Homo-oligomer: A and B are copies of this chain.
Amino acid sequence: MRVTIFNEYLHELENDVVHDIYPEGIHATLAEAVTRLTGAEVRSATLRQQEHGLSQEVIDATDVLLWWGHKAHEEVADEVVDRVQRAVLGGMGLVVLHSAHYSKPFKRLMGTNASLKWREADEKERLWNLQPAHPILAGIPDYFELPREEMYGERFDVPDPDELLMLSWFQGGEVFRSLATWRRGHGTVVYFRPGHETYPTYHDPNVQRIVANAAAYAAARIRRPDTGSPETSPIEQVPNPGKENVLSATTAKREE
């Protein structure tokens, strides 16, 4: 499995609290965990690199892409977003983390606002396991707690997930669909809620396990573009197999 971790990598450089938690960047912490837990070959990509480190070559060599971003979603080039969307529809996996609910690739693949309620108040989050038999939840108990996290509250404006795997309880009174999957084209998209930059969430063993399992679950099994809509020959007999269609007819007429 070949994993690429995209991280915006700005807060870690600009803010002391975040830097102390993730001195090498969130991507480094995630890379260590995913490598350790899955044996995958992991590389990183960050916003300030050329093409955000996500050249066509890199994407073509990626089975699953992890995405963390927060304050600079708008700086991601549309060309790269097109590339990521095409790759997912062609089979690449995409694991969307925390504030990347607002990233361009996720919004593009969902077709919705991906909006939610939020609050940063050092409160407790408890994540409940709805499907202990699901591969993404292998090794995860019936619930686990994060002592301090940012709150995300419903209504989360996404299409109904194909699989709803965890629900969060927040100390301040809200709930959230925290782990969910959607198939888009030949690819699998996973969203996993926790991961606010000012808390050590990605050092938590349960969080690491879920991120690693999600990467393995979403990793491409095939890669097929399938972007076109081919005209196709009949398999059984049809009345008028060589019929000229309107577009050709019209074009022909115009070209006369």
Chain A residues packing against B (C-beta within 8 Å): 11, 14-15, 17-18, 70-71, 85, 89, 91, 102, 108-113, 115-123, 126, 128-135, 138, 142, 148, 151, 153-155, 157, 159-160, 162-164, 167-175, 177, 182-188, 197-198, 220-222, 224, 226-241, 243, 245-247, 249-250, 253
Which one of B133, B155, B237, B243 lies within 8 Å of A120 (CB-CB)? Answer: B243
Pairwise interchain contact A157-B241, C-beta atoms closer than 8 A: no
Task: For residue A18, give the distance in angstroms from its CB to the closest CB of chain B.
Answer: 7
Which one of B108, B135, B160, B169 lies within 8 Å of A111 (CB-CB)? Answer: B108
Task: For residue A181, give the distance in angstroms from its CB to the closest CB of chain B.
Answer: 11
Which one of B126, B167, B253 lies within 8 Å of A173 (CB-CB)? Answer: B126
Bound CA span A99–B183, Å: 23
Pairwise interchain contact B238-A172, C-beta atoms closer than 8 A: yes
When A173-B236, A228-B115, A238-B122 are in contact, do A159 and B183 touch as well, CB less than 8 Å? yes
> Nearest B residue to A106 by beta-carbon distance?
B111
Give 9 A-B pairs besides A113-B226, A148-B239 with Cβ atoms closer than 8 angstroms: A85-B111, A115-B226, A118-B232, A123-B238, A129-B154, A131-B183, A172-B234, A172-B237, A175-B175
Task: For residue A171, give the distance in angstroms from its CB to the closest CB of chain B.
Answer: 5
Pairwise interchain contact A175-B171, C-beta atoms closer than 8 A: no
Bound CA span A159–B130, Å: 11
When A71-B247, A159-B159, A221-B135 are in contact, do A231 and B118 touch as well, CB less than 8 Å? yes
Pairwise interchain contact A197-B246, C-beta atoms closer than 8 A: yes
User: Chain B contacts of A237 at CB under 8 A?
Assistant: 171-172
Pairwise interchain contact B185-A113, C-beta atoms closer than 8 A: yes
Which one of B89, B154, B164 lies within 8 Å of A128 (CB-CB)? Answer: B154
Pairwise interchain contact B221-A138, C-beta atoms closer than 8 A: yes
Pairwise interchain contact A172-B120, C-beta atoms closer than 8 A: no
